[in-house]
Chains A and B, each alone.
Chain A
Amino acid sequence: MPVYHRVTQGEFLAQIAAKYGFRNPATIWDDPRNAQLKKKRKSPHVLMPGDILVIPDKSEKRQEAAVTRVHQFVLDEPKVKLRIALKDWDGEPLKSMECVLKVGSQIYNLTTNAEGVIEEEIPVTATEGTLTIKEMGEEIKLQIGHLDPSSEETGWKARLRNLGYLAEPGEPDAQTLRWALEEFQCNNGLKVDGTCNDQTRAKLENTHGS
């Protein structure tokens, strides 16, 4: 019997798959019963709390083994790739920038590439981390898997925040939000009207990279 999984904040496909014991998350995502959700969400790692994911029944994996010996089956800890582009205030990539990514007890010393990007395989169970860019005096607290789809208000606001247009914590007031939208529109050659229309949302998603 399939399980209907209701997505909660912070969950993403690879993590859900690991929870249900799937080695390959695509098995879930490619299930025909998830076709509608697949159409709605561009990435199974950017889901909305409340989305329903159908978890198909697991198929068995058979392994022949000699009966006279002790066999050890080791499951690798499932990993997921985290990619972050670091940019200066004007959108220029921060190249060759040394930074430290901490996820759980793991510490990764990374350097951004020519596009300002860092990339690391992190445990699929990770929910939070910190990224420190010493040179710029920045310590960024990451909530892994918490990015909502850009079609949702929480999602496009999150992208405005990540892109530096909303720099203060908490819910922005009307003028602050208008500032953020207009500056983003202005910097990206869109019509400047301070409202988050489809075009703006699409551009936000595109600029953010997810």
Chain B
Amino acid sequence: MSGKSDPPISKATAGGLSAVHPTLKPRDTIPVAPAFTNELNTYQLTLVPKACWKVEDMRFAFDSSFVLPEMKEELALLAELISQHSEEREGVRRKPPLSIFGHADPVGKDDYNKTLSGRRAMAIYAALTRKTEMWERLYTQPFGGDNWGNPAVNAMLGHLGYSSGAPTDRAKAFQRASGLKDDGIVGPRTREKLFLAYMDSLCGENLKLTPEDFLAQGADPNGRGDYQGCSEFNPVRIFSQEEEQKYSRPENKNERNRENAPNRRVMIFLFRPGRKVAPARWPCPAALEGPDACRKRFWSDAQARLANGPARREFKETRDTFACRFYHRFAVNSPCESPLPPPKGFAFLSVIVFFHQQPIADLAVEFFAAGADGKPGAAVGEKVKTDEDGVAKLLKPVPIGNYVCRVQYQPETVVCTVPDIEDPFILVLPIGRPYYDFENDFEFTGRKQR
């Protein structure tokens, strides 16, 4: 188990990931023809991302563009990624230019989703550049379900440590600390200070960008080239016809929402330092524009790509779920859109916890390397919690071998041996037994080769 170094793979957190794109091999040698009269050869550069960052739906308030405090974790990954891809040139440190793409799920109208996905991209852009006026715009101009309101203010105050007392008292405390008149009313001036303090806290000292750090270098006042929303045009998951029918029934709304979660994401692509685009030549419409310009860039068979078929399609498997051809190229080799399979000799560890045939959420699960006696040895990875489906998964792949997992479940601690499998291993919590041994039920050695 030891001796093998960490696989060169993406870094994941609970709500997102960052990854380096596979290095594009240079084009084959370029065939050229010498001129007989005055003929030319043309060599055109490509615009290919070097790295990517993704944040999931769970880091935004429900149906909203308000960035939740937990995104701090993913933003730390972004800071690291930017620094990793910066280049020193003639004594100047150049950052990799960024472009942000928001994505919505296919529920609701295109136009609505275009705006919502654009607003999410905008919210992140604003946080990175500390443009509080953009947040003020999102705050004062609610859009459908995207209404920041008091919950957002309270979440920000809470995150900044003003968490006790009535909302007015918390606001007053913040105002006093910020040198404002403590009237307890969170108006534009208080919001400006609050947004800035919150952005600073989310991004940290190291992640403070300027419009020049983006792909179009802020050349367009509406952010074309720098941030945009893709509406619902580029889902990573498309339901089967059967699922679509099932989820269209009101009683299945929550399940549909959960199954659609991977589609609601914000992606950032990082390009080579020095690359820039002219907004006029960038095909994507601005974040708050309608989706007409998007359609001009669709695959000729875009409808078929977005259609519900006999089986569910996942982009990571079929690579045919995006309607936008322009986006397709950025994303087709992106580990953020289709996570790389674990490298050879590695696997993902996961476990599903059931109790009385019901998945159990919120249980702490720990994984260990199995000792010679099959008992827990060294801890592997962080402690993880089971989700609503009872699944607990280690985000980092581990070398293939024998592992043991311990599920904390009061009052007993259950220990079992986990084979190396990608599909979750089902652990049934024993009833009334403090220790359960799977030895007779499962093969422990796992697959040696992949």
B35 engages A87 (CB within 8 Å) = no
Residues of A within 8 A of B29 (CB): 128, 141-143, 146
Q: Which of A49-57, A62-70, A175-183 contacts B (4 or more CB under 8 A)?
A: A175-183
A39 at the interface (CB under 8 A from B): no
Produce 1/0 per residue, A187-198, CB < 8 A to B.
Answer: 000001110000
Task: Tell which of B41-49, B235-243, B416-424, B429-437 binds the partner.
Answer: B41-49
Residues of A with C-beta under 8 A to B24: 167-168
Known: A147-B32, A147-B33, A183-B325. A45 touches B281 (CB 8 A): no
Chain B CB within 8 A of A81 CB: yes
Interface presence of A104 (CB below 8 A): no
The answer to whether B39 touches A161 (Cβ under 8 A) is no
Contact A84 B319 (CB under 8 A): no
- Per-residue 0/1 for A134-156: is the Cβ within 8 Å of any B Cβ (1 yes, 0 no)? 01111111111111100000000
Tell me if B164 counts as interface (CB < 8 A to partner A). no
Measured CA separation A13–B320 after assembly (Å): 45
Least CB separation from B44: chain A residue: A164
Across-interface contacts of B208 in A (CB, < 8 A): none
B45 touches A82 (CB 8 A): no
User: Which A residues touch B45, using CB under 8 A?
Assistant: 86-89, 94, 136, 138, 164
Complex CA distance for A143 and B31, rounded to whole angstroms: 5
Residue of A82, A87, A161 near B28 (CB, 8 A) is A161
Q: Is the CB of B329 within 8 A of A179?
A: yes
User: Shortest distance in angstroms between A140's beta carbon and chain B's nearest beta carbon?
Assistant: 5
Interfacial chain B residues near A44, Cβ < 8 Å: 36
Q: Identify which of A89, A161, A179, A209 contacts B47 (C-beta below 8 A).
A: A89
Whether, in the assembled complex, A122 has its beta carbon less than 8 Å from a beta carbon of chain B, the answer is: yes
A163 touches B42 (CB 8 A): yes
Residues of B contacting A137 with CB < 8 Å? 272, 274
Q: How far does the alpha carbon of A163 sit from the alpha carbon of B46 in the complex, in Å?
A: 9
In the complex, what distance in Å separates the CA atom of A175 from the CA atom of B319?
9
Q: Is B328 an interface position by the 8 A CB rule?
A: yes
Measured between C-beta atoms, what is the minimum distance from A45 to chain B in Å? Answer: 5
Across the two chains, which residue of chain A brings its CB closest to B47? A89
When distances are taken between beta carbons in the complex, the residues of chain B under 8 Å from A86 are: 42-45
Q: Sort chain B's interface into a size bin.
A: 35 or more
A193/B300 contact (C-beta < 8 A), A138-B45, A210-B40 known: yes
- Given the interface pairs A80-B35, A135-B274, A143-B32, the reply to whether A169 lies near B27 with Cβ below 8 Å is yes
Measured in the bound complex, the distance between the Cα atoms of B30 and A147 in whole Å is: 8
The interface residues of chain B lying within 8 Å CB-to-CB of A138 are 45
Please state if B281 and A90 are interface contacts (CB–CB under 8 Å): yes
Q: Closest B-chain residue to A138, C-beta based?
A: B45
Complex contact B42–A208 (CB within 8 A): yes
* Residues in A whose Cβ lies below 8 Å from that of B191: none
Q: Inside 8 A of A84's CB, which chain B residues have their CB?
A: 32, 40-43
Q: CA separation between A188 and B211, bound complex, in Å?
A: 31
Q: How far, in whole Å, are A110 and B326 apart by their CA atoms in the complex? A: 33
Chain B positions within 8 Å of A22 at CB level = none
* Contact between A145 and B41, CB atoms less than 8 A apart: no
A43 on interface, CB distance cutoff 8 Å: yes
Further contacts, 5 of them, CB under 8 A, given A87-B42, A90-B278, A164-B44:
A14-B34, A43-B37, A45-B35, A84-B43, A143-B32
CB-defined A-B contacts under 8 Å, sample of 29:
A43-B39, A82-B32, A82-B34, A85-B40, A85-B42, A85-B43, A87-B44, A88-B45, A90-B47, A91-B44, A92-B278, A122-B34, A140-B30, A140-B43, A142-B31, A144-B32, A144-B34, A161-B28, A162-B41, A163-B42, A164-B44, A164-B46, A167-B48, A169-B26, A169-B28, A209-B41, A210-B33, A210-B35, A210-B39
Residues of B at the A interface (CB closer than 8 Å) are 24-48, 272, 274, 277-278, 281, 296-297, 299-300, 319-320, 325-326, 328-329
